[in-house]
A = this chain, B = another copy of it.
């Protein structure tokens, strides 16, 4: 006879253990992420994931009603972790340009440490073409504003050339995205050195002063 939970009268029956549920939910997502990344969407068998988790298959389905929902929850979790990581790192700096640099390094380091999340991004697009917008871009768009504000401030203080901020965020965003994917596809590593390269090119450009003059003289198309 268990001592009655002193909270007056509780409902009859087995009470729900909220903490356990949350922990298990996280465990399932973590394992599922690993298995989706390893085997692909179709070949990731919910049965195998359940076995790895030491729970019954039905239990997984209690938490995520379909394989699809399980997958999308895993992608969403990955994006939340990315955002947390990048913002935490950027927050360690106060100078705007330093924040940009820290964010670039954090982004690349995050995906280097978690290649399984890159795989999820690929899989999402490959298997769920019907969805309006991939999770990555939903998150990207949600975070875009703060970075544009940052570059706006850098232009105002005369550190960055006065070009449309959208040009900067777009090019830098695409560059990071492409680097992250290529690292994964081509099995490259060394995100620290990559960050150096990227920052060198983006911040300074590749042309010499002479080269810049020459190009301007020829009427290159860039405004």
- Flag if B176 contacts A211 (CB, 8 Å): no
The answer for the CA separation of A93 and B158 in the assembled complex, in Å, is 37
Q: Is A88 at the interface (CB under 8 A from chain B)?
A: no
Q: Is A64 at the interface (CB under 8 A from chain B)?
A: no
Q: Is A66 at the interface (CB under 8 A from chain B)?
A: no
Q: Is A214 at the interface (CB under 8 A from chain B)?
A: yes
Q: With CB as the reference atom, state the residue of chain B lying closest to A97.
A: B215
Q: Is A182 at the interface (CB under 8 A from chain B)?
A: yes
Q: With CB as the reference atom, state the residue of chain B lying closest to A100.
A: B206
What 1/0 mask marks residues of chain A from 93 to 115 whose CB sits below 8 Å from any chain B CB?
Answer: 00001000100000000000000
- Given A133-B186, A134-B185, A174-B179, the answer on whether A200 and B126 have CB atoms closer than 8 Å is no
- Flag if B158 contacts A101 (CB, 8 Å): no
Give A141-185 interface residues, CB cut-off 8 Å to B: 154, 158-161, 163, 167-168, 170-182, 185
Chain B neighbourhood of A179, CB < 8 A: 171, 174, 178
Q: Of B97, B126, B208, which contacts A160 at CB under 8 A?
A: B208
- Flag if A199 contacts B182 (CB, 8 Å): no
Chain B neighbourhood of A163, CB < 8 A: 200, 206
Q: With CB as the reference atom, state the residue of chain B lying closest to A37.
A: B129
Q: How many whole Å from A70's CB to the nearest CB in chain B?
A: 17
Q: Is A92 at the interface (CB under 8 A from chain B)?
A: no
Q: With CB as the reference atom, state the residue of chain B lying closest to A118.
A: B125
The answer for the CA separation of A201 and B58 in the assembled complex, in Å, is 53
What 1/0 mask marks residues of chain A from 32 to 58 whose CB sits below 8 Å from any chain B CB?
Answer: 000000001110000000000000101
- Flag if A211 contacts B126 (CB, 8 Å): no
Give A185-203 interface residues, CB cut-off 8 Å to B: 185-186, 194, 196-203
The answer for the CA separation of A56 and B210 in the assembled complex, in Å, is 63
Please name 17 pairs of A and B residues whose Cβ atoms are closer than 8 Å in the assembled complex, sorted by A: A97-B211, A97-B215, A122-B125, A137-B182, A159-B210, A167-B197, A167-B201, A168-B201, A171-B197, A174-B178, A174-B179, A174-B182, A175-B178, A178-B178, A181-B181, A203-B206, A204-B212
